[in-house]
Structure 1
Amino acid sequence: MSETSLIDERALSKLRWRCRRGLLENDLFIERFFDRHADTLTQQQAQSLLLLMDLSDNDLLDLLLRRKEPEGELAQDAVHEVLALLRTAP
């Protein structure tokens, strides 16, 4: 399966579960992301989203609110792409 192929329903369901957060603010960004992009989510985007989910709630919120930009392992184009989709205003 290539990185540009879409994820299937089972993978999407597991990804949604993995993306549940402790901070309501993060959940709002993530829920809006899934509402808009679930049907077109690629393998690469899913992997990038999982990298972001490894962050603490506060670090993730800092990225979502543009207080910080991705650094280190997160400083890759695919992560920036998913972060831009997460940040998109309604």
Structure 2
Amino acid sequence: MSINRGRVRWHCRRALLELDIVFERFLARDFDRLDDDQLANLMELLQLEDHDLWAMVNGSKPCEVERWQGLIGLLGRN
């Protein structure tokens, strides 16, 4: 099953300004290189509440889901 990249991009729009900025950079820099497994993991990650996701991205909360850790690393770099 192929994942609709446009839909994933749309879900990257976040209400929390800090996350929105992080995702803008991520979309411009890394998004087009993701494979289908990474896209599926990203869709799971995007189901989190903004504050929980932001805590993992900024490092104040560890990412305990191993399959998300690479994406968190990509999101967390400036």
TM-score (norm 2): 0.87
Q: Distance in 2 between matches of 1:38 and 1:60?
A: 17
1:20-70 CA-to-partner distances (Å, cap 9, x unmatched) read 111111111111111001221111111111121111111111011100112
Larger-Rg structure = 1
Work out whether 1:53 is the aligned partner of 2:53.
Answer: no
C-alpha separation between the residues in 2 aligned to 1:38 and 1:81?
13
Q: Which structure 2 segments of 5+ residues have no match? A: none
Worse-matched range after superposition: 46-55 or 58-67: 46-55
Q: Which residue of 2 aligns with 1:38?
A: 31
Structure 1 regions of 5+ residues with no counterpart? 2-6
Aligned residues: 78
Identity of counterpart residues, as a percentage?
A: 35
Aligned residues: CA RMSD: 1.6
TM-score using structure 1 length:
0.77
Displaced runs of 4 or more, over 2 A: none
